[in-house]
Amino acid sequence: MYKKKSLPKIITLVAAVAMGVNSTYAQDDDDDSIRELVSRLDLESYKAVIKGLAQFGDRRQGTERNRRAVDWIEEQLQAAGCTNTERIHYVFDPEPRPPRQRSSQSDEIVDLTTSTGGKVGRNGSGPGGSSIYGYRAQTGVNRDLMAQPDERIRELNREEPVNGPRTEVYCTKIGTTRPDEMYILGAHMDGHGVNEAVNDDASGTALVMELARIFNSPDVDTEVSIRFALWNNEETGLNGSYAYVEQRKDLQGIENPPGSGKYPEPRWLGMIQHDMMLWDHGAPRADGTVSRDQRPEADVNIEFQSNSDLAEESMLLAFMFKASADKYNTDYPATVGPHMTNTDSTPFMNEVPSISLRENERGMHTGAGWNPTWHTPLDVWTTFTDEDFRLGLNAAQTTLSAIAELAGTKIK
Ligand SMILES: [Zn+2]
């Protein structure tokens, strides 16, 4: 159901950014400040964080490797200057599901040069006559340990998950003049597929951790608060981000203790999710295989959800991000689409303007088999080249510059 909301602030910002002039918050030197912040992003530093996450294998929820990864992320955030880390606690204890029929694909060692199972459709063959065009290769989760050809990675991922208590970590840059309002930047730290979960989603997790580092540099001030959240249990149904919304939605904007100037849950201004940032190699070919190379038209896909209560506000936020990408991305452009889905921004989308940044459109491209590393043994460090990592870095440039603008950022 469509609801009309008033949008003066964000319209001003979008219009200002789209026209290339300074925003409401901007001073003359703002562009220079943002450019300086963007220059603090670095490919090798971004890759190093991804590699750090890869040491915990697929970080599958409910395992020791997942718990150790949460601890490691918290240590890294603190070392980077985002010292006020906190944890969300929740229990993941779903009803057991009836055993599923195994697809023939899940038994195979997947290789880019082999067909992805022989089921390649074409033109409108998507479910329900969806907007999937071109060839469509099969996708599916691989949980077969022996499908991972690398013995070291196989050993990392041997433990099976057990239901029970879970945690996830976040930290916050506190705003100087509006500490009671914030943007939330998120990515999920859990993965699966007997791999190193490099693309899905160390690539987004490292992006958020790098932004936490840059925004928490001693010489950086923001007027508005920014929260850096690394969700757990995304892969089981967004359970970590749902737990956050459930536990904290009603605490927004409350000063606690009264008179302290402290706001444990600043009022939400926007939620920006990062999930799968590296791989834009184009559509599958007629035989279901996908190119090993980043396609020349590779881009950052910014999506909002046209069916959400806040579709209009979210769309404006998405276009504001695109304008920022046009200005600050060094290698790849950004595009906007209306089908944000299947990631941790969904629990937020009826509460606050919400968007996701990805390598591809989740519904159309990923669903049509554009990414053979998705939830398969191929999502490992050695699969990706610097061209891939650079796409993730460009998404980081987009979010860093857009949020620096929206949060009113100054270098002291
Ligand atoms: Zn993901």
Segment 271-281, tens digit of pLDDT: 999 999 999 99
pLDDT over 60 (residue 101): no
Q: Where are the alpha helices (H) located in 96-221, listed in sequence order? A: 151-156, 203-215
Instruction: Using the mean position of ligand 1's atoms as its centre, give its distance from the Cα of residue 179 in Å.
Output: 30
Q: What is the mean pLDDT of residues 319-335?
A: 98
Residue 387 is encoded by which pair of tokens?
């061209």
Q: What percent of the chain has pLDDT over 90?
A: 77
Helices 43-54 + 386-406 axis angle, to 10: 110
Instruction: Using the mean position of ligand 1's atoms as its centre, give its distance from the Cα of residue 264 in Å.
Output: 28
Instruction: Using the mean position of ligand 1's atoms as its centre, give its distance from the Cα of residue 256 in Å.
Output: 34
Instruction: Using the mean position of ligand 1's atoms as its centre, give its distance from the Cα of residue 412 in Å.
Output: 36
- Quote the pLDDT of residue 14: 59
Tell how far CA 68 is from the center of its chain: 20
Instruction: Using the mean position of ligand 1's atoms as its centre, give its distance from the Cα of residue 16 in Å.
Output: 33
218-242 confidence digits (pLDDT tens):
999 999 999 999 999 999 999 999 9
Instruction: Using the mean position of ligand 1's atoms as its centre, give its distance from the Cα of residue 201 in Å.
Output: 5
Instruction: Using the mean position of ligand 1's atoms as its centre, give its distance from the Cα of residue 80 in Å.
Output: 24
Tell me which residue range forms the domain holding 231: 8-92+115-411
Tell how far CA 388 is from the center of its chain: 15
Residue 38 is encoded by which pair of tokens?
């963007």
Q: What is the DSSP letter of 198?
A: I
297: domain CATH number is 3.40.630.10
Q: What is the DSSP letter of 215?
A: H
Kindly state whether residue 168 falls inside one of the protein's structural domains. yes
Share the mean pLDDT of the chain.
Answer: 88
Residue 370: CB atoms within 10 Å: 25
Kindly state whether residue 43 falls inside one of the protein's structural domains. yes
Kindly state whether residue 105 falls inside one of the protein's structural domains. no
Instruction: Using the mean position of ligand 1's atoms as its centre, give its distance from the Cα of residue 197 in Å.
Output: 9
Instruction: Using the mean position of ligand 1's atoms as its centre, give its distance from the Cα of residue 234 in Å.
Output: 7
Backbone dihedral angles phi then psi of residue 310, each to the nearest 5 degrees: -110, 40
Question: Distance (Å, rounded) from C-alpha 56 to C-alpha 295?
Answer: 30
Give me the number of domains the chain comprises. Answer: 1
Q: List CB contacts of 237: < 8 A, sequence separation 6 or more.
A: none
Instruction: Using the mean position of ligand 1's atoms as its centre, give its distance from the Cα of residue 67 in Å.
Output: 18
Kindly state whether residue 106 falls inside one of the protein's structural domains. no
The full length of the chain comes to 412
- Residue type at 324? S
Question: Distance (Å, rounded) from C-alpha 334 to C-alpha 2?
Answer: 27
Kindly state whether residue 98 falls inside one of the protein's structural domains. no
Question: Distance (Å, rounded) from C-alpha 275 to C-alpha 150?
Answer: 25
Instruction: Using the mean position of ligand 1's atoms as its centre, give its distance from the Cα of residue 200 in Å.
Output: 5
Instruction: Using the mean position of ligand 1's atoms as its centre, give its distance from the Cα of residue 128 in Å.
Output: 24
Kindly state whether residue 316 falls inside one of the protein's structural domains. yes
Kindly state whether residue 108 falls inside one of the protein's structural domains. no
Instruction: Using the mean position of ligand 1's atoms as its centre, give its distance from the Cα of residue 69 in Å.
Output: 16
Kindly state whether residue 110 falls inside one of the protein's structural domains. no
